Structure 1
């Protein structure tokens, strides 16, 4: 009998528990803790928690970041056009020289003697011609003889000019102002035509060559500013100006070579250095930018979920340019709208949502 009573009591408690759970929202004292939100009471279901941002207009900058190579403004290896022995060298490695400075002289005693002889011969030919011209005027010499003497003077003059040109090649001068590199020949060395003696670089201006995708070609023009950085000076941005854009696009890389010039008066840069180059070629004011993660693409169409009156609204959008983490919205949304960034996979059009964060502006 006692067992039957215990079973009956347990059954009554179980029924009471089920009834209390099903009607927990209406129970006094504790009902308020189980009451569903107003939307749920109206039949809309529990709101889905989401994160959101408020779209704000900003500035969209079009730029490319590539690697470029530094080159000298002018560069040459000083060589000889003749075979000769170095008699004098006015060279110090790393020396700054000016255009026209004498760098190397070759032994020229033999050709100097030839030039002196040629000049004496020219002087004698001129004297003979003058005497012949005087006698021709007196009628004592024929016209043909005078012409022969004039031809002899012209031949002597040509010989002198030829030797002067040759002896000029025995002296090497700086073709432009710049800094000398390492010497590759020594005093007394016998050099052959084309043998390098020393390098000369003008690095007062550095030419920076880099490749830009052809998609940016229409926006490129001389005068644009570039910012370059070197691993040698990572905290020092170096400004340059676009000077030339190549006339051809590389068919393999579909890129065009751009050359910028950098003032290198401080001598920080050296030819051959690799620099990271950033070129800004476009700027759009009041562009509407949104985080990439809020954009969903289905069947080739893009859409986002906006929040209106506490509900998720599916909004088709037209996308524009992209940059890391952001995409431009061309159509479908307006500045000031609240859009869902996290939790979009759980919402459906028209579903109630609850923004769990304090939305901030999504700007550029």
Structure 2
């Protein structure tokens, strides 16, 4: 009898527990939960606008002399005199260096002797006292001697083919010049006695890929900023476009010519080149509407998809125009969140306080 009583009591307790559980579920499903609805985040929004802008292609390159020449003689010899010091400006046509003239003097003496023989045989030819063959032989000998003297004259002095700065002297006064190559100041192999460079204007060379080369033409405006003068952009123009592309890099060499009147810019300086394209239109938003995810380089915008909800969209930055930035992935008249975006997630509820 005692065991039956215990079983009844145990069963009664279980029923009470189950009854309590059912009662709890009924309460939860009845819609009387104490949980409050999601709170909307207050934000300011702005509409994306279509605006005119000038697209810009950006490149990097190195400044070079507009013209450069390693000058020497076509025959070995001794350097007798250099009339300009390294770093000085040399006008076009000026004699920069003089070479030894022993061979020239010898050739001139030989020419004078041959000239007399030629004049004598010319008089005999007029009297028909000498054969045509002998005359032709002497004339050829005279012409060859004259050519030799002219060649040696050109090699006893070195003149500037254009106005420029004397940047390298590889053979000093009193030294013998040979054809052995040397290394220039910019670590290039060269042969010669000296190097002259035209430094005004300068040119900066960039490599343009095959997708963009058709957008560039000669005479196109370009801005160049050098790391040495970051706050002093220089205006230039596209002066040369290679007619062929590299089969390895699929790029074409493009040269931009820039003025250098004050000679502040030096060959070898690193520069950033911006080439302007024809004006077009694009969709712009405030730059502070962009949201960058921490730990990544990805940019996002929170787009308003209805009156009270946003979606997060991955975007890329385009050209800047004041405090606006072009976004190619969005349309004009779409609304973007500007302030309050740091509190949002994809699908968050919002309350637009400035619409």
Normalised TM-score (structure 2): 0.70
Which residue of the other structure, out of 304, 313, 316, is the alignment partner of 1:306? 304
Superposed displacement of residue 329, structure 1: 5.4
- Partner of 1:91 in structure 2? 84
**Could you tell me which of 225, 228, 234 is aligned with 1:232?**
228
Structure 2 residue aligned with 1:75: 68
2:260 to 239, 244, 264: 264
For the Cα contact (< 8 Å) 2:284–2:325, is it kept in 1? no
1:94, 1:180 within 8 Å by CA — same for their partners in 2? Answer: yes
RMSD value, Cα: 3.6
Deviation, 1:179, is 0.8
Tell me how far apart the structure 2 counterparts of residues 221 and 117 of structure 1 sit (CA, whole Å): 57
SS in 1 for 2:138: helix
Alignment correspondent of 2:161: 175
Which residue of structure 1 aligns with residue 352 of structure 2? 355
Deviations 1:29-60 (A, max 9, x none): xxxxxxxxxxx9xxx98645344222233234
Q: Whose strand fraction is larger, Structure 1's or Structure 2's? A: 1
Quick one: distance in 1 between partners of 2:82 and 2:332? 74
Are the counterparts in 1 of residues 48 and 283 from structure 2 also a CA contact under 8 Å?
no
Displacement of 1:286 in angstroms is 5.7
Instruction: Give structure 2 stretches of 5+ with no counterpart.
Output: 1-35, 181-190, 293-299
Structure 1 residues 159, 86: closer, same or farther in 2, change over 3 A? same
Any conservation in 2 of the 1:122–1:157 contact (CA below 8 Å)?
no
- Larger deviation, residues 278-287 vs 339-348: 339-348
In the other structure, the counterpart of 1:25 is none
Given the alignment of the two structures, is residue 53 of structure 1 paired with residue 57 of structure 2, yes or no? Answer: no
Identify if the C-alpha distance between structure 1 residues 254 and 323 changes in structure 2 by more than 3 Å, giving closer, same or farther: farther
Q: Specify the SS of the correspondent of 1:115.
A: helix
Does the 8 A contact of 1:84 with 1:192 survive in 2? yes
Q: Is the 8 A contact 2:318 2:328 kept in 1?
A: no
CA distance in 2 between partners of 1:183 and 1:321 (Å):
50
Q: Distance in 2 between matches of 1:228 and 1:111?
A: 50
**Distance across 2 between alignment mates of 1:102 and 1:93:** 14
Matched with 2:100 is 107
What is the deviation of 1:98? 1.9
Contact 1:292 1:326 survives alignment (8 Å): no
Corresponding residue of 1:328:
327
- Answer yes or no: is 1:204 the counterpart of 2:203: no
Query: Where in structure 2 are the equivalents of 1:124-135 lying within 5 Å?
Result: 124-134=117-127
- Match of 2:242, SS state, is strand
Stretches of structure 1 that go unaligned for 5 or more consecutive residues are 1-39, 295-301, 360-364
Partner of residue 220, structure 1? 216
Q: CA 1:83 to 1:262, structure 2 compared with 1: closer, same or farther past 3 Å?
A: same
Tell me by how many angstroms 1:90 deviates: 1.3
CA deviations 1:282-341 (Å, max 9, x no partner) are 4323635475559xxxxxxx9974366x444889x9x8984589553577x543x54445
8 Å CA contact 2:205–2:255 kept in 1: the answer is yes
TM-score by length of 1: 0.68
Which of these residues, 131, 142, 145, is aligned with residue 156 of structure 1? 142
SS at match of 1:345: coil
> Structure 2 CA distance, aligned partners of 1:274 and 1:48?
48
Secondary structure (helix, strand or coil) at the match of 2:279 reads: strand
5 Å-filtered alignment, 1:245-256, equals: 245-256=241-252
Q: Per the alignment, do residues 51 and 251 of structure 1 end up closer, same or farther by CA in structure 2, a change over 3 Å counting?
A: farther
| Cα distance change of structure 1 residues 355 and 107 upon mapping to structure 2, 3 Å threshold | same
Q: Give the Cα separation in 2 of the matches to 1:186 and 1:247.
A: 40
Structure of larger gyration radius: 1
